[in-house]
Amino acid sequence: MKQSRVTVEDLTPVRKRLQIEVPADAVQAELDQAFQTVGQRARLRGFRPGKAPRPVLERVFGAEVRREVLGRLVEQSFHAAVEQHRLAVVGTPDIDAEGITPGEALRYSATVEIRPAIALGDLSGLGATRPSAAVTDDDVDQALGALRESVAQLRPVEDRTVVEAGDVVTVDLTTRLEGAEPVHRDGVLLEAGAGAFPLALERQLVGQHRGGRLTARVPYPPDYPNAGLAGKTAEFEVEVKELRAKELPPLDDDFARDHGRCESLAELRARVRADLEREAQGRADDAVRDAILEELIARHPFDVPSTLVERRTEALLASLDVRLPAEADREAALARVREQLRPRAEKQIRAELLLDALAERDRLEVSAEEIEAEIEAIAARERQVPERVRALYERPEMRAALRAKLVRDRALAGLLAAARVMPPSAAESVAHEK
């Protein structure tokens, strides 16, 4: 196809409008070829195969042929224009094209977003303070307490009828939210006195009687984890059915053997401490990494393609276990969650684009052997059959994404190695130990 005329208009640093003109002779040649192909295949009454005249073909198949030719010409000329101007397009172009007319040029516009051109500045002096990763005896006690709670037995309460803090209460529950149908559930288990805020339903159960009914209004805080309830006031109709008390097993050597896969309580405490220390070290590593990336981002302001941010927002949303209300409020709840996730998504995209620029500047690469080793590591971490994981990463897009991640990891490792990472202050360590 004869080369199209292309002009590029800068709308923003990451948004371009391409004005593309496909020459009239190229349009006509494509139409002629299309009608020739249709004519060879068409079976029309009164005409032998391949012998129907062009006017008949245009009358019967014209609209369909012109539509197909338009799509083909736009696709071919758009990709040629992108290659000609070396545009790193992200997302789907917004095409504004009218129909084609025989003997006339095809003119249309394509609005696209592109990856930003990032000029890396001074990277010296990046630094962070490493948080304390100390684990105290209280931390170990809390972890052991949580383990005891996880294996607690529930004993029916027979000697009283009033709910006390710590009781596990069985209730029949009707929930009402504005704009949604009431939801009724039987046999819901709630721990009386629990709840992360003063008017939580669990706290309002303390002092109620078995067999009693109450109506509770609960104003949920804006940052409540359940997006369907965050910032709303719910009304609950509650009937208290049963009371049970939690019985925690003694924290001794038998507990260690039965529930901790250890021969003694001392061994269990040591293992729990080691697990907590490993987790704390991981959190400290993450905090240092995040601080370095924050400083890197702060030094390099640039426009981010909204397409990448929206795509990452949807990926974050899909990765979360978001509990949503009834259909009447579902879209509004999803919109609120997206707004909460969008800043995190944009920060992730900024960091990745900067690391890509750093990797390109330093010509960082990963070998095929390193990719294969990472695939094996993924299979081991996720306890999957290596062949199944390997088959997944045979897909070109998955392998390219893995390669990009490993290159970014290498770029980040270089940044961290050159950064000034300060240990936690003595005062911080002392305060943590108290």
Q: What pLDDT shows up at residue 426?
A: 42
Other C-beta atoms lying within 10 Å of the C-beta of residue 170: 17
CATH topology of domain 153-247: Chitinase A; domain 3 (3.10.50)
Residue extents of the structural domains in the chain: 5-114, 153-247, 274-433
pLDDT in tens, 99-122: 898 889 999 999 999 999 999 988
pLDDT in tens, 167-203: 999 999 999 987 678 889 999 999 999 988 888 999 9
Q: Give dist(CA 131, CA 128) in Å, integer.
A: 9
Residue 430 pLDDT class (50, 70, 90 cuts)? very low
* pLDDT at position 245 over 70: yes
Q: What pLDDT shows up at residue 329?
A: 65
| Identical fold, 5-114 and 274-433 | no
Instruction: Enter the CATH code of domain 274-433.
Output: 1.10.3120.10
Q: What percent of the chain shows pLDDT beyond 70?
A: 94
Helix (H) or strand (E) holding 206: none
Judge whether 338 and 317 are in contact, CB under 8 Å. yes
Residue 326 pLDDT class (50, 70, 90 cuts)? low
DSSP tag of 159? S
Judge whether 298 and 123 are in contact, CB under 8 Å. no
Q: What pLDDT shows up at residue 138?
A: 96
Determine how β-strand 168-176 pairs with β-strand 15-22.
Answer: unpaired
DSSP tag of 221? -
Q: What pLDDT shows up at residue 434?
A: 44
Q: Is 64 helix (H, G, I), strand (E, B) or coil?
A: helix
Q: What pLDDT shows up at residue 224?
A: 83
Query: Which range has the worst mean pLDDT, 13-22, 50-59, 401-410, 411-420?
Result: 50-59
Judge whether 368 and 393 are in contact, CB under 8 Å. no
Greatest mean pLDDT among 102-106, 221-225, 337-341, 342-346: 342-346
| CA atoms in the 13 A half-sphere facing the CB of 108 | 22
Structure-token match 């006017």, residue found: 55
Residue 403 pLDDT class (50, 70, 90 cuts)? very high
CATH topology of domain 5-114: Alpha-Beta Plaits (3.30.70)
Determine how β-strand 420-422 pairs with β-strand 127-129.
Answer: parallel
Q: What pLDDT shows up at residue 202?
A: 93
More confident residue, 42 or 2: 42
Determine how β-strand 106-114 pairs with β-strand 233-247.
Answer: unpaired
Annotate 123-146 with b (16+ C-beta within 10 A) or e (fewer): beebebeebbbbbeeebbeebbee
Judge whether 245 and 168 are in contact, CB under 8 Å. yes
Query: Which range has the worst mean pLDDT, 79-88, 129-138, 323-332, 399-408?
Result: 323-332
* pLDDT at position 427 over 60: no
**For residue 195, what are its two tokens?**
């709840």
Other C-beta atoms lying within 10 Å of the C-beta of residue 218: 20
Residue 322 pLDDT class (50, 70, 90 cuts)? low
Across the range 400-410, mean pLDDT stands at 95
Other C-beta atoms lying within 10 Å of the C-beta of residue 175: 21
Structure-token match 């001074």, residue found: 122
Q: What is the mean pLDDT of the chain?
A: 90
Q: How far apart are the first and last CA of the chain?
A: 77
Across the range 208-225, mean pLDDT stands at 90
Q: How big is the chain, counted in residues?
A: 434
pLDDT in tens, 281-313: 999 999 999 999 999 999 999 999 999 999 999
Q: Give dist(CA 243, CA 124) in Å, integer.
A: 63
Q: What pLDDT shows up at residue 28?
A: 93
- For the chain, the C-alpha Rg in angstroms (whole number) is 32
pTM of the model: 0.77
Going by C-beta distance under 8 Å and a sequence separation of 6 or more, which residues neighbour residue 171?
A: 188, 190, 205, 238, 239, 240, 241
* Greatest alpha-carbon span in the chain: 98
